[in-house]
Amino acid sequence: MTAFILVPGMCHGAWCFDGLAHSLRSAGHRVLAVTLTGVAERAHLLAGAVNLDTHITDVLAAVEAYAPKDDLVLVGHSYGGMVITGVADRIRERITSMVFVDAVVPQDGEACWDIVDEAEHAWYVKVDNTGFGVPPLPFFDPRATSHPLATLMQPLRLLRDHSRFRRTFVYALDWPGESPMRPSYERVRDDPAWQIHLLDGKHDLMRDKPDELLRILLDAAAD
C-alpha cells in the first residue's frame, strides 16, 4: 500500500492539507499530514530548541507510528521541501516518489536560507518577541503561528543518492513579485530526472489549484 505523507510549509499545520487529504483518501489512498514541532497547534513546544533535525524526526516518528510498512509518497510544500529531502535520505528504501509543491529543493550542506531570495531573508530576520520565531505574514491563515527560526538556518546533511526516486516539482506562477522558489525551480527544470508542472495559482496551491494538484499527486503514486 502507498501512503501520502504531507508536510506543510512555514507557520502552517497539517490542517492546510485538509481538502487535499480528503480527496486523496476518497481516491483510496492512505494519508498522513504532519504538524511540525513548534508550529500551529504545536506552537507551545519549545520553539527555541527546534531545528531542522527536529522536523525531520517529527515525520520519521509519524511514519513509524502510522505507516510502518507502507511505501511512501513524500509531499512537501514550501519549507516542507527541506523536511521531505531529509526524511528521504534517512529511509530511502521506503520512498516511491517525492513531490515538491512550490517548495525549496536543497542540496547537501544547504539551509533553507541559502536557497531563497533576499525578500525571504528580510522576513526571516524580523523575529517575534521570543527571538526564536519568524511571525506569520498578515495574509496567512488565521491559524498560522510563528515558525522556529533555527529550522531555516540549519544546513541539511545528505548521505545518500536520491536519483532512484520519482521526483516532481510543482511551480506556482501567480506570485505578487519574484518567486522565492524560483532558484529551486531553475535548479530542476532542465533535469530529465524531474517531472515539472507549472500551475497558474498562488503559492498555496492546495487551496488555489486543488484539482490540478490532486491529479499530479495521483500520477506521482502510480506505478
Domain ranges of the chain: 2-221
pLDDT in tens, 178-202: 999 999 999 999 999 999 999 999 9
Percent of the chain, pLDDT > 70?
99
pLDDT in tens, 48-106: 789 999 999 999 999 999 999 999 999 999 999 999 999 999 999 999 999 999 999 99
Residues identified as active-site: 78
pLDDT of the residue at 223: 62
Distance of CA 185 to the CA centre of its chain: 14
pLDDT in tens, 99-126: 999 999 999 999 999 999 999 999 999 9
Total count of residues recorded for the chain: 223
Mean pLDDT of the chain, nearest integer: 95
- CA separation for the pair 90, 84 (Å, rounded): 10
The amino acid present at 205, given as its one-letter code, is L
Q: Which CATH class is domain 2-221?
A: alpha beta
pLDDT of the residue at 160: 85
* pLDDT-derived band at 45, boundaries 50, 70, 90: confident
Of 162, 50, 53, 152, the C-alpha closest to 107 is 162
Of 33, 64, 76, 61, the C-alpha closest to 165 is 76
DSSP-derived letter for residue 217 is H
